[in-house]
Copies of this chain bind each other. A is one copy, B any other.
Amino acid sequence: MSDGFDPELVPDARGATRRPEPECPVEVALAAISGRWTTLVLRELTAGPRSFGELRAALPTVSAKVLTDRLAELTRRGLVGKEVHAGFPTRTSYQLTTAGKRLRPLLVELYRTGAALLAETT
């Protein structure tokens, strides 16, 4: 019943699809880190909780709309948690959830792989 794929690459049936499926683990992971600025936001939050303004300060050229979009999507996926502290001015705090912290090894591997590719062509 082999599907012809390396079992380490495709360990179970969910990865043996013939087209992009949102339920495929690879697509799930890609969706989590996809979108411009997303990995940078995750990098910031990996260092600890951050407010909206702190994120903007760390990433000065991201627009408010895009940052809001990224945080909303990450929150929707359960990767980031949001706390609003009442008062004026309003203070918020974004932080990685347990699920969000699971992205860490993937980010490390992204860096490793990218560095290897860069070294290859140089």
Contact = CB atoms under 8 A, between A and B. Distances in A.
Interface string A1-22: 0001110111100110111100
Interface of A: 4-6, 8-11, 14-15, 17-20, 23-30, 32-34, 36-37, 39-40, 43, 46-47, 58-62, 78, 98-99, 102-118, 120-121
Contacts of A20: 36-37, 40
A110 B115 contact: no
Given A10-B43, A19-B40, A26 B110 contact: yes
Contacts of A58: 18
- How many copies of this protein are present in the complex? 2
Contacts of A18: 40, 58-61
Closest 8 CB pairs of A and B: A25-B114, A29-B114, A28-B114, A25-B115, A109-B109, A29-B113, A106-B113, A29-B110
A102 B78 contact: no
Given A18-B40, A102-B117, 6 more contacts: A18-B59, A19-B40, A25-B113, A30-B39, A99-B121, A106-B110
A51 B107 CA distance: 33
A16 to B, nearest CB: 9
